[in-house]
Amino acid sequence: MREVAIVGAGMTQFGEIWQSSLRDLFVEAATEAMRRASADQLDSMYVGNMSGGQFVGQEHLGPLMADHLGMAGIPAARVESACASGGVALRLAFLEVASGMSDVVLAAGVEKMNDGADVTSVLATAADQETEAYHGITFPGLYAMIARAHMEAYGTTEEDLAAVSVKNHRHGAMNPKAQFRREVTLEEVMNSSLVSAPLRLLHCSPVSDGAAAVLLCPLERAKEFTDRPVKVVGSGFATASMALADRNEPAFLDSVSLSAGRAYKMAGVKPSDIDVIEVHDCFSIAEICCLEALCLVERGKGGEAARSGFSALGGEVPVNTSGGLKSKGHPVGATGVAQAIEIYEQLRGDAGDRQVQDADVGLCQNMGGSGASSVVHIFQRV
C-alpha cells in the first residue's frame, strides 16, 4: 500500500443553512477543498451521506454531486453508514489512493437535515426497524439507555454528562464554523428540557445542515498540492450488533473498541501517543463511552474526563477541540469528514484559538447508529 496524505480541506458553516440546498452545500465544501489544494481535476470521489432520500428526497448522490462540481465523468458514489457515512467515505478514498488505483480522490460528506422532514423518524432508520424503531425508540432514547446503563454500572452522574457539553461548547465558541458559538454553564445543561431521560436538550447534538470535503493523494505527490500535508497513518473500521438490546454490555461500544484497535495497530501508535482527538459526541454519553473504548481512560472512568479537565483544551488529551458534534453541529453524513478536517488543521497548526501546541498525532472516531458501526482514523504531521 502507498502512503496517503490529506492535502486540502473545505467545509461549510454548520447550522441551519436555509439558503443552501444539499447540492449547494456539497459544492461549497468540495470547491473549497480543491481550491486550497490548487487541484483542478479528480480521479474519483466518495460522498458520505446518511439519508438524502428521506431528508430531501434525493438519492444517487455520486453522479449528482460530480455533475454539479463540474466533474461529470469521474467515478463517484454515495457512501452510507448512518452517522459514520463521512468517516467511511474517507476510508474508501484512503483505500483507493493507497491501493494505487487512483491518485487524487475527494472524500466528502454532506447532509441537509433542515428541509422539513421528521428528523427524529429519519434518524431512527439507523436503528433496527423491526425490533427498535417499530416500538417508538429514538436516537436520543438509545443513547439515554446507554447513559443509564453507564450510570448503573459505574456511578457516572448527570454532572459528568453535563461537563462534556460544557467543555465542547467552550471549544466550539472558538470555532467560526460551529453552529453554536457560545459557552454554556453546567446549570444551563442540567436545567435544559428532557429529551429522553436522563439526556437533556444540551446533551444532544443539534439538527444541522453542512458539508465537508478533504482531498487525498499519494504522499509522494502531496507537495504538488500543499506545503503542509497530513499523513493518514491508520484506518480502522468495525461493526457491532445493530440493536442495542443485542449487546451484552449496553454501556460499552464494541465497534469503537475494535475499530480503534485496528487503527492503532496499523498506525503503530499507542493511545498515549495521541495529541488531539475528535470523537463522535452525538450525545454527551457517547464521548464518555468513546474515550473508554479508545483506551484513553479506563473502562468506567470516562465520566471523570471532562469534569477533571483531562479532555479539555490545555488538558492531557484535548478532545473535540472543534466543539464536537454538540457545539460545532452534526450534519450526520458530513460529520466524519469534518472531524478529519479539525485534526488536519490541528496538525498543520491552523486551528487558531483552538490550537493544541505541538500536535503531532491526531485521531478521529466517527460512529453510526447507537454504535453499530465505527470508523477511526489516525493522522500524523509530515
List interacting residues with other proteins (CB under 8 A): 118, 120-121, 124, 130-138, 140-141, 144-146, 148-149, 152, 193-199, 241, 243-246, 250
CB nearer to other proteins: pick between 62 and 141: 141
108: closest CA among 199, 11, 4, 209? 11
CB nearer to other proteins: pick between 137 and 313: 137
In angstroms, give the least distance from the CB of 197 to other proteins: 4
In angstroms, give the least distance from the CB of 244 to other proteins: 6
For the chain, state the CA radius of gyration: 19
Instruction: Tell me which amino acid residue 61 is.
Output: L
In angstroms, give the least distance from the CB of 325 to other proteins: 17
Burial 219-248 (b: 16+ CB within 10 A, else e): beebeebbeebbbbbbbbbbbbbbbbeebe
In angstroms, give the least distance from the CB of 126 to other proteins: 13
Grid cell listed for 80: 452510507
CB nearer to other proteins: pick between 143 and 310: 143
Helices 139-154 & 284-293 angle (0-180, nearest 10)? 60
Q: Could you say which of 169, 171, 330, 377 is catalytic?
A: 330
Alpha helices in 268-301 (DSSP H): 284-293
In angstroms, give the least distance from the CB of 342 to other proteins: 28
CB nearer to other proteins: pick between 53 and 271: 53
**Cβ of 59: how many Cβ atoms within 10 Å?**
14
Per the annotation, the verdict on 330 as an active-site residue is yes
**80 to 74, 100, 148: CA distances (angstroms):** 19, 24, 29
Residue 331 CA to residue 209 CA, distance in Å, equals: 5
Place of cell 498515549: 272
**Three-state DSSP state, 284:** helix
Report the catalytic residues. 83, 330
